[in-house]
Amino acid sequence: MKRSLSCLLLFLLCLFIICCAAQASADLLITVRDAVDNTTIPSAAVSVNGVQFATTNNNGQVLIPNTGSDHRVRISMNGYDDWENIIASNQSTAFINMSRKKVALKVSLYDSDTLAPIPGALVNISGMGGYAQSGQSDASGVVAFTVNATMVYSLDISAPHYESRSGTADVAMEDKNVQFWLLSGNKFSFVVNDKDTKAPVKGAEVRLNDISAGTTDERGILSIPLTRGKEYTIAITRDGYEPFNEIKTISESDALYKAEISKAPLGAFVYVYDENHGPVTGAEVYINGSLSGTTDQFGRSTFPDLVFGAYPVEVRKIGFVSASQTIVVSNKSGQYSFILPFENSALTISVQDKDAKSLSNATVSLDGTSVGRTDDNGMLVTKVRFGQLYNITAARDGYLPASIQKQVVEGNATASATITLDKSLDWGLIGSLVIIVIAILVLFAAFRRFGRRPGHHVTRRNEI
């Protein structure tokens, strides 16, 4: 009997040891779940004792071998707060609930008519798992909430003197901003903006079912009473813009209609003339600072793609002073003229005699037109055009006039020219000398005629 009891005890002891050994060798199965909806989370990063171990499978699970020691486990996943804790070595399963990260949800409320912010509006938000918050808009019409990431929230909005409305906000892993426009009575707003600049378009006509509803104001807004729940043909027109058309059903919850209209290509002609009103060929035309074209033999450059608006234009040509102005393109194929003054250079003209002595008070002419007199140093500074050949003439009393030709090339800012004058004959002195000579000759002739002495008569042979 005692022997049988001893054997039974020994058997139970062995069985206990085997069970303990089996339990000690069991691996750890971790299941990672979302704390909100209890769905499993695949691809979560799992670190064991500070070392990256694996990622969870499609079932949100990972198996960690038992090493006989406790495990420090860390789990990370985008959109969730990191989870970290110690799991005992004798634990074979663990369910880890991951909390979603907190992000900001900002709700902005505006009047659909004036687009002004609406303070004091009540906003209720709700989400999965019974999540709910409420808030009231501040003076800027904003309500701010702190919510879980990666969730879709329902919003219910109400404000005194406004129609209630609802909406949704799909919040990802970043802060989210949403905007809502509340209806005041039965008013409905049309907002028209430029498609490229996003600027408001004033004076755009809105037609509903081919009936004019009015034009937009400085803010690009037209607010009118409108029956909702109907289909409308919406047409928007504005000078300088392409026509806009759309068929849309305006529902009971709609507060405003936004439209972006594109500018129509109007085109423009730029004409460039010199100061004598002659066409300038090859002038470069810059629009908004970029070279956009050059003028032809008629001084014209065409820009068919210009749309409605203002453009800074600069025209350049070597030998001319550049000209700039802002053109306003507002109609089809507008024409815009530019006058380019000739670019001038300073030309120093020196007048001297054959002995290189400076001659002051000499008259200087360019192409027959007097430009002044030389100074005490025999010099005159005048302006000439680049590239033009000039006939320069200098004249001074007592000297013979002289002319030279001069052309100043582009880039020569210190051009000079020298004219040498020969002394002219003194006709007064010459006249006096001539008179004296004539007088001498007259006196000589008179002396010869009347100044002989009487002599004896000699009888010639032929007189006998």
Q: What is the mean pLDDT of each run of 10 residues along the chain (464 residues)?
A: 56 54 68 90 92 92 89 90 90 91 93 86 90 93 93 92 88 92 81 93 95 93 86 93 94 87 91 92 95 95 90 92 91 90 87 91 92 93 84 91 87 82 74 79 77 53 49
Q: Which of 24, 31, 29, 48 is nearest to 92 (CA)?
A: 29
Q: Which pLDDT value is given to residue 374?
A: 93
Whole-number Å distance between alpha carbons of 374 and 372: 7
Consecutive H or E run containing 147 = strand 142-148
Task: Give the long-range contacts of residues 82-85, CB within 8 A, separation 24 or more.
Answer: none
Architecture of domain 344-421: Sandwich (2.60)
Q: Who's near 171: CB < 8 A, 6+ residues apart?
A: 103, 105, 147, 148, 149, 150, 151, 152, 153
Query: What is the Cβ-side half-sphere exposure of residue 78, based on CA atoms within 13 angstroms?
Result: 6
| Per-domain residue ranges of the chain | 24-98, 102-182, 187-261, 268-340, 344-421
**Which superfamily does CATH assign the domain made up of 24-98 to?**
Carboxypeptidase-like, regulatory domain (2.60.40.1120)
Gyration radius of the chain's alpha carbons: 53
Q: Which of 240, 233, 232 is nearest to 195 (CA)?
A: 240
Q: Which pLDDT value is given to residue 443?
A: 81
**Which superfamily does CATH assign the domain made up of 187-261 to?**
Carboxypeptidase-like, regulatory domain (2.60.40.1120)
Q: Which pLDDT value is given to residue 24?
A: 46
Fold match between 24-98 and 344-421?
yes
Q: Which pLDDT value is given to residue 299?
A: 94
Q: Which pLDDT value is given to residue 183?
A: 79
Architecture of domain 268-340: Sandwich (2.60)
Please tell us whether the domain made up of 102-182 is placed in CATH 3.90.1170.50: no
Whole-number Å distance between alpha carbons of 217 and 223: 9
Q: Which pLDDT value is given to residue 4?
A: 59
